[in-house]
Structure 1
Amino acid sequence: MTRYATRYAALSAVILAFALLNTGRFTHAQTFDRQAMVTGWLTETILPLHEAFAAEAADLEAAALAFDADPTEVTLTAFREAWVEAVIAYERIQPFSLQRVMPLLSQLDSSPANVQSIEQAISFQAEGTIDAAFVESLGSSSKGFAALEYLIFARPLPPLAAVQNRRDYAVSIAADIRRIADELVVQWTPGTDGYYGDRFIVDEFELSNVRGMVSMVVNELISNIENIGKFHVGDPAGYRSGGAPQLQLVESPYSETSIQRLRANMETVREIIYGHGDAPSLADYMDFIGAELNGERFSEVLAAQIEAVFEALDAIDEPFAQAIVENPDAVLTLYTEMRDLLALTKTDMANQLGITITFGDSDGD
């Protein structure tokens, strides 16, 4: 049990009782516009981040084509840089992995890459047959960011440039990433065939719909925080297995961008809660209902814990695999801060908001 879970267990019971006595707070808006908060999530955060990801994915495809046309150190460096920019933009949308878009997102980043499958395709596919349609048909661990990272970061220029199938594979993965990014934008754009855009921006929400949108986003936010602590930090460091570090589980081992990716993801976590535009934020709503913890505004307690996570990320300067071995105290601090953030959100914040944690069924459909 984390220190927050221990310290505030008794208080959480009181908070839950308070929430049950005040379920009416979702039935009248009073002076807080929850519809504006939900719409603001879409217009100020979700849709702009997806559009930014689509733009980076288009740049990635362009860099791939430029490398294929002229495979040099210069174009390979540009290709790698475009991959980093695109994967960081992808991390910014990860906290919005809602049920209807999960089939798309799951094709983008299954880690670790299936190196054996990738190499077999390069060796045995007839030249000219590795194209976008071929890549689209593959399993998720043989395409997406992890597979492309392996192709363009794991080897120096000569073997990548020398084999046409290897270049075709890289170009086709980049094209597939761009295709999926464009589809994700459609899913979040109002007035299209997408599922979520209109549901977040309808002029007159029924109160049950507003409540459902808040529950859906908060559930996915907390699930995302839990996944970072468990799978991206705890498992590679060996904390959850109680054994030795499992460095093969470190994300992005070839580009060594794991910490950058975690930071990008956490930036979106902070933005969901505190906003950055004119719309009221989730923190504003918690202040409106008088959410407190140990006599302090809960929004301020939560902000301090999020900042502690960023400080822990900043303390790791080396590649994450190296930090696990050579800087274990910093890695343990990051893991501890993530667990404390999970306790605050999954227990205290959810209780303050009167939200049931469902995770697997957070979409409500």
Structure 2
Amino acid sequence: MKNKGIRSILVPVLALAALTGVLLVPSCKKDCKSADCFDRKTMLTDIGNKVIVPSFVEFATASTQLETEAQAFCAAPDIAGLEIVQQRWKETAYAIKKIELFQEGPVKNALLYPMIDFWPVRTNDVNNYLANSTTITKQDLNSKGSTVKGSPVIEYLIFDKTGGNSAVLDRFTTAADASKRKDYLLALTDLLQDHAQQLSAEWSGTYLSTFTQNDGTGISSSSNSLVNELFALEDYIKGMKVGAPAGKKDGNLYPMNVEAYYSSESMAFIRVNLDILEACFKGGDGQGFDDYLDFTEAELDGVALSKVISDQFGVCRSKCDAVTMPLSDAVSQQPAQVNELYTELQRLLVYLKVDMVNNLGITITLNDNDGD
């Protein structure tokens, strides 16, 4: 009788459980702390809407303003107009340093980044193109290689480290090739603006959805690609932007191989790179890879890995601030400060490429950058 009573109670309970989906089996999904259980779609949506798309929109806006001011300057060249063009170029270049992180998708598909930001500038190629071209138009320039177009070429034309702005102005007014030089600047800024508008439109349009929907964990997923881009850019900053001119590769200093040599914006560019890396890591003010790591309860020596990485961004930024002169000068005049920056960038790289990658189950697909 006792067994029969128990059975009479259990049968309806089990039947009810089968109908409602409630059960007697603990929910592994609720308690899951593995990377597979994290809501990557929300994270990708926040990174896309709060970090990536605004960066491309900023590039498009800045490049349009640069083109407008270049037109005004070429119509009536003077020092005041040149200074405005230089300022608009800096704003455009800062925006480029943000999109430097996001080279998958539209940028990669159209092979555009080398056309936008090929450096160090090949001055011989630029000078030869200027000398050997009968006329310079956007269409002609677009058919040429990346060494004669893009932001670094504009920088080379509008800055002079030795002669200053008066020397630049002379080249646009009294030099024998002044008219052709103006045509070159106009073609450069027009073409750059075209590229910026194209990328902004694609990211603001259909590609954002493609990016956010690709929320799996496979090798071609958006999160896997983005983590690879994070540590690849950080490695590039360390190896090529700091390490190479500082002699980390062969012991020789190469001050002219810093980024943005002619404008002395090298350190500013590195700061912008670090800012966008951290913004992507944190998803702006939304969900980011820091939340992804927190979800998995990732730690390093008893400290949340997200905090370790966030703090290291701050350390790298402070080491940038310690370099108080153009990087081209600092490699010889402030070698200790440059070396400290290099060391802390290396530490950040390990946190991203080893600790973060391992905790999130990321597959490394990008090779190390040369220069270190």
Fold agreement, TM-score > 0.5: yes
Within 1, Cα distance between the matches of 2:310 and 2:266?
23
Q: What letter corresponds to residue 225 of structure 2 in structure 1? A: M
Give TM-score, length-normalised by structure 2. Answer: 0.83
Q: 2:209: which partner in 1?
A: 198
Larger Rg: 2
Corresponding residue pairs, total: 327
Partner residue of 2:327 out of 308, 320, 325:
320
| Superposed CA offset, 1:91-143 (max 9, x none) | 011111126513111111111222222222322322xx201112111211111
**1:54 is the counterpart of 2:56:** no
Counterpart in 2 of 1:17? Answer: none
Partner residue, 1:158: 170
Q: For the structure 1 residues 61 and 206, does the alpha-carbon distance in structure 2 shift closer, same or farther, using more than 3 Å as the test?
A: closer
Q: What is the deviation of 1:27?
A: 4.1
User: How far apart are the structure 2 equivalents of 1:175 and 1:93?
Assistant: 19
Aligned mate of 1:188, from 195, 199, 203: 203
CA change 1:107–1:350 in 2 (3 A) is: same
Matched to 1:229, the amino acid is K
1:265 matched to 2:273? The reply is yes
Q: CA deviation at 1:69?
A: 0.7
**In structure 2, what is the equivalent of residue 304 of structure 1?**
311
Secondary structure of 1:107 counterpart: helix
SS of equivalent to 1:237? coil
Relative to 1, partners in 2 of residues 1:116 and 1:211: Cα closer, same or farther, differing over 3 Å?
Answer: closer
Cα distance in 1 for residues equivalent to 2:267 and 2:282: 22
Residue 289 to residue 50, structure 1, CA distance change in 2 (3 Å)? same
Partners of 1:188 and 1:76 in 2: how far apart?
Answer: 32
Contact (CA 8 Å) 2:322, 2:337: kept in 1 or not? yes
* Cα drift, residue 282 of structure 1: 1.2
- Give the 3 Å change call, closer, same or farther, for CA 41–72 of structure 1 in structure 2: same
Counterpart among 137, 145, 158 of residue 139 in structure 1: 145
The residue type paired with residue 164 of structure 1 is S
Structure 1 residue 349, shift from structure 2 partner: 0.7
Mapping of residues 343-358 of structure 1, within 5 Å = 343-358=350-365
Partner Cα separation in structure 1 for residue 115 and residue 231 of structure 2: 22
The alignment's TM-score, normalised by the length of structure 1, stands at: 0.85
Match of 2:240 in 1: 231
Distance 1:254 1:109 in 2: 14
How far apart, CA to CA, are the structure 2 residues paired with 1:41 and 1:106?
24
Q: How big is the shift at 1:211? A: 8.1
Q: Is residue 2:189 matched to residue 1:174?
A: yes
Q: How big is the shift at 1:68?
A: 0.7
Consecutive unaligned residues in structure 1, runs of 5 or more:
1-21, 361-365
In the TM superposition, residue 209 of structure 1 has moved relative to its aligned partner by: 7.1
Structure 1: how far apart are the matches of 2:336 and 2:170?
Answer: 39
CA displacement 1:60-102 (0-9 Å, x = unmatched): 1011101111101111111111111100111011111126513
The answer to whether residue 105 in structure 2 is matched with residue 69 in structure 1 is no
CA distance in structure 2 between the partners assigned to 1:334 and 1:221 by the alignment: 18
Higher normalized contact order (CA 8 Å, seq sep 6+, divided by chain length): 1
The structural deviation recorded for 1:300 is 0.9
**Does 1:108 pair with 2:116?**
yes
Residue 124 in structure 1 maps to residue 118 in structure 2: no
Q: Distance in 1 between matches of 2:215 and 2:48?
A: 17
Kindly report which structure 2 residues correspond to 1:210-249, keeping only aligned pairs within 5 A, or say none: 212-241=221-250, 243-249=251-257
Give the C-alpha shift of residue 208 in structure 1.
Answer: 5.0
- Is the aligned partner of 1:342 residue 2:354? no
Instruction: Give unmatched runs, 5+ long, in structure 2.
Output: 1-30, 161-166, 368-372
Corresponding residue of 1:13: none
CA distance in 2, matches of 1:206, 1:145: 33
Rounded Cα–Cα distance in structure 2 between residues aligned with 1:48 and 1:132: 27
CA contact (8 A) 1:23 1:354 kept: no
Is the Cα contact below 8 Å between 1:149 and 1:252 reproduced in 2?
Answer: yes
* Corresponding residue for residue 19 of structure 2: none
Q: Which amino acid aligns with 2:317?
A: F
Instruction: Indicate the residue corresponding to 1:82 in structure 2.
Output: 88
What SS does the corresponding residue of 1:345 show, helix, strand or coil?
Answer: helix
Distance in 1 between residues matched to 2:355 and 2:90, nearest whole Å: 35
CA gap 1:334/1:298 in 2 versus in 1, 3 angstroms = same
Task: For 2:150 and 2:33, locate their aligned partners in 1 and report how far apart those are by CA, in whole Å.
Answer: 45
What is the DSSP-based 3-state SS (H/G/I as helix, E as strand, rest coil) of the residue aligned with 1:358? coil
Does structure 1 retain, via aligned residues, the 8 Å contact 2:33–2:296?
no
Q: Hey, what does 1:14 align to over in structure 2?
A: none
Equivalent position amino acid for 2:365 in 1: T
Distance 1:292 1:298 in 2: 5
